[in-house]
């Protein structure tokens, strides 16, 4: 589910922002492994500072390579950001999909919010700041990056809309405006929890899952 592979089929176009290249990496590190290192460092930098203020030099320093090496792998700062968007959106959407459609074990009704949160915490435990790459307010309006981020957020919002509508329907509420309002409450809550988690790095994904279980129980029984 985690899209980290960078290989391309013969005669296929490389992914956005990436140049063609063989398996060789730098300093004996395989290319795929080096790209994963760069993506991890870039997700941290972009998530912390936003595209506008993120430093390619800082990303290179985190990895232990030169700035020209970043450009050799991803062409440009924008190319690297697009690769980060694709990477984290794939991971987030896969986590939500798995929580919502887990076959016979899929959570029902009021257990779904907790299952989705647990899936997100687990998927993002090693790169929590990456959540805010998807919700970067520094992206220029109308830019390719902004449009790409909006496309991924739209997919996530679609899943949220489906889940909140199903939750309300289970309580006999088919009002589409109620469902839309609840979707906005839910997405805002998720982002707030992600921000709070970042501020508490001592808490693991398991800790957050248990905490959210307590909070959701308190809300339901209030």
Q: Within its chain, how far is the Cα of 29 from the centroid?
A: 26
Poorest-confidence range of 57-61, 104-108, 144-148, 214-218? 104-108
Mean pLDDT of 82-88: 97
How far is the CA of 215 from the CAs of 3, 5, 53, 144, 169, in angstroms? 32, 37, 35, 38, 22
For tokens 């592979």, what's the residue? 5
Half-sphere exposure of 200 (CA within 13 A, CB side): 13
Mean pLDDT of 44-68: 96
Provide the pLDDT confidence category of residue 29 given band limits of 50, 70 and 90.
confident
Mean pLDDT of 180-195: 95
> What confidence score (pLDDT) does residue 100 get?
87
pLDDT in tens, 89-141: 999 999 999 998 854 454 556 788 999 999 999 999 999 999 999 999 999 99
């Amino acid at each position: 589910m985690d899209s980290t592979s960078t290989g391309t089929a013969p005669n296929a176009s490389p992914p956005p922002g990436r140049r063609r290249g063989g398996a060789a990496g730098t300093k004996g590190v395989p290319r795929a492994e080096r790209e994963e290192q760069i993506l991890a460092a870039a997700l941290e930098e972009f998530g912390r500072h936003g595209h506008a203020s993120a430093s390619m030099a800082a990303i290179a320093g985190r990895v232990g390579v030169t700035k020209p090496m970043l450009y050799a792998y991803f062409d440009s700062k924008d190319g690297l950001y697009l690769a980060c968007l694709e990477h984290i959106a794939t991971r987030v959407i896969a986590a939500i999909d798995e929580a919502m459609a887990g076959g016979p074990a899929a959570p029902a009704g009021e257990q779904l919010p907790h299952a989705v949160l647990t899936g997100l915490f687990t998927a993002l435990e090693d790169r929590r700041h990456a959540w805010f790459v998807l919700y970067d307010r520094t992206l220029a309006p109308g830019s390719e990056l902004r449009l790409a981020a909006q496309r991924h957020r739209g997919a996530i919002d679609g899943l949220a809309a489906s889940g909140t509508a199903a939750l309300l329907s289970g309580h006999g509420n088919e009002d589409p405006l109620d469902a839309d309002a609840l979707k906005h409450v839910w997405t805002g809550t998720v982002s707030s929890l992600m921000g709070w988690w970042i501020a508490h790095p001592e808490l693991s994904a398991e800790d957050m899952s248990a905490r959210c279980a307590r909070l959701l129980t308190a809300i339901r029984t209030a």
